[in-house]
Amino acid sequence: MDKFFNLNKKIIKCNKCPRLVKFRKKISSKKRKQYLNETYWGKPVTGFGDTKAKILFVGLAPAAHGGTRTGRVFTGDKSSDFLYKNLFNVKISNQNYSKHINDGLKLNNAFITTTLKCVPPEDKPLKKEQENCFKFLNQEISFLKNIKVIVALGKIGFDSCIYFFKKNYDFSKNVKFSHGAIYDLPNNIKIVGCYHPSPRNVNTGRINEKKMTSLFKKVLKLA
């Protein structure tokens, strides 16, 4: 727990990527109309959940008016609404919503984080930004000693996790992201590809509640 406390302090203080710092400050000052009376978090966003978890979820980055506003990853936006509806369906979370940092949300045997700790413009991080932020994801995965399954929410999250294992272990398998794909990793860990719960993916029908809940049921069996 102390490891995560110290790591989270470093994450929150990070200002290494000028473009991302500028963008998150812009978001925090030019608020959305419905959030004008709120004070935005406006800093990097840490991981959240059970540090003894067997299941790790890895997304892209905190949302502009979700995590960047609320200070908790996958909180206060449409992606989080869809994600937590499905997590609650399989009892990974204690409630089917994630609205704000003091809403009572708890994860059961799961930890959730993102590849980038700051939101990138148009959700498109530069290679250097991913490299800068990887040190944090690297430590998070290393600290989570009980992980059995990693659920990669989108291709960037998937690729970052594969990079972690190639960097830290004798792992050279060529694996590609696809929804529902399951691969074996070192240390008896499995990685599961999952479409990101973004409004775009939901609205186009690429992912729906039935598909995601079904995949999460498989994840529980793997853990």
Per-residue burial over 26-65, b if 16 or more Cβ lie within 10 Å, else e, is: ebbeeeeeeeeeeebbbbbbbbbbbeebbbbbbbbbbbbb
**Res. 1 pLDDT band, cuts 50 70 90:** low
Work out the percent of the chain whose per-residue pLDDT is above 70: 100
CATH number, residue 100: 3.40.470.10
- Region 80-106: mean pLDDT is 97
Number of domains in the chain: 1
Coil vs helix vs strand at 65: coil
Is the pLDDT assigned to residue 92 strictly greater than 90?
Answer: yes
Domain membership of residue 89 as a residue range: 2-222
